Every structure is written in structure tokens, then in C-alpha cells.
């Protein structure tokens, strides 16, 4: 494949089809842009749909990030595909509740804010992945870990407060 086309595809995927070029808080914009897509996947396919989409997107993100990192600093703000994966992982924890459910809007809102919190705070091992894995895997994994923390909190909210 032509190198210019490959680079274009990597930048397109890595930036979430351009969302990563948002002038401020591109990670937050990427997380927010993921919500309508996550809603559609969760509504029809639930947990397994969210997890499968997150897994495929994760590996696309590794490939895209590796290419983008050749030309930028570590984890540049234009890469938001990692936020997409983290947001999907977060919502997968309550995916069974989201299937054919239009009344679970609270899960999307809480999941969004919880994921953003853990993505910014970066508790271990997210901090380790962000600071020690200075490659495409580190770019992607810190958000997976943040998504797991956020998803566990969302699951607890679902179990103890909402149910």
C-alpha cells in the first residue's frame, strides 16, 4: 500500500475520524463522540458487541498509533482512538443492562464521567502503561485500564444504587 495512503488511514483512525483535532480537550471530545456509537452497539448487541468492538478498535489503535508516533511526541492529543476503546470497555461492564433499553441513559452519562476521571487521574496500572510503555501499546493500554476501573465503578452503581 502506498505510504501516503497508509499514513492517511492511520491518522484518520487514530484521530477518530478527525475528532482528535478538536482544539481543546480532544480526549473528552473523543469519549463523548463514542457515546452514540456505543449506544447503537449496546442496544443491539450488549456486552459482547461492546467488547468485540473494543477489541477490534484496540488493535486498529495500536497500528494507527504506531504510525502516528513516528511523527509526533508520545501520546499526542490528536490520538483519541484510545478514548474510544476505554469508553467502550467502561460501558461493557453494564452492557447486559443496555440491550434494548432506552431508559439506561444514566449509564452512558455516569460511564462517560467515570471514564474521564480515571483517564485523567491514571491510577496504577494505567499510570505505569502511560509512563513506562512509551509506544503504541502504552497509548492504548492506559485507557483500557482506566476503562476497567470506570466499568467496575459503573457496575457497582448499577448493582447497589440503580437496581
pLDDT per residue as tens, the chain (163 positions):
689 999 999 999 999 999 999 999 999 999 999 999 999 999 999 999 999 999 999 999 999 999 999 988 777 889 999 999 999 999 999 999 999 988 899 999 999 999 999 999 999 998 998 888 889 999 999 999 999 999 999 999 998 887 6
Let me know: does 154 contact 96? Beta carbons within 8 Å.
no
Total structural domains within the chain: 1
Q: Whole-prediction pTM value?
A: 0.94
What is the domain extent for residue 81?
3-162
Which cell goes with 20?
482528535
d(CA 152, CA 111): 10
Amino acid at each position: 500500500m502506498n505510504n501516503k495512503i497508509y499514513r492517511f488511514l492511520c491518522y484518520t483512525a487514530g484521530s477518530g475520524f478527525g475528532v482528535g483535532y478538536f482544539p481543546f480537550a480532544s480526549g473528552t471530545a473523543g469519549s463523548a463522540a463514542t457515546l452514540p456509537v456505543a449506544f447503537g452497539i449496546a442496544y443491539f448487541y450488549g456486552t459482547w458487541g461492546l467488547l468485540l468492538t473494543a477489541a477490534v478498535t484496540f488493535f486498529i489503535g495500536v497500528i494507527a498509533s504506531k504510525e502516528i508516533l513516528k511523527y509526533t511526541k508520545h501520546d499526542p492529543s490528536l490520538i483519541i482512538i484510545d478514548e474510544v476503546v476505554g469508553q467502550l470497555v467502561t460501558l461493557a461492564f453494564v452492557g447486559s443492562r443496555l440491550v434494548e433499553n432506552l431508559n439506561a441513559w444514566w449509564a452512558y452519562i455516569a460511564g462517560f464521567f467515570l471514564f474521564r476521571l480515571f483517564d485523567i487521574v491514571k491510577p496504577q496500572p494505567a499510570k505505569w502503561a502511560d509512563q513506562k510503555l512509551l509506544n503504541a501499546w502504552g497509548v492504548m493500554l492506559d485507557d483500557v485500564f482506566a476503562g476497567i476501573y470506570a466499568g467496575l465503578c459503573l457496575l457497582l452503581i448499577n448493582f447497589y444504587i440503580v437496581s
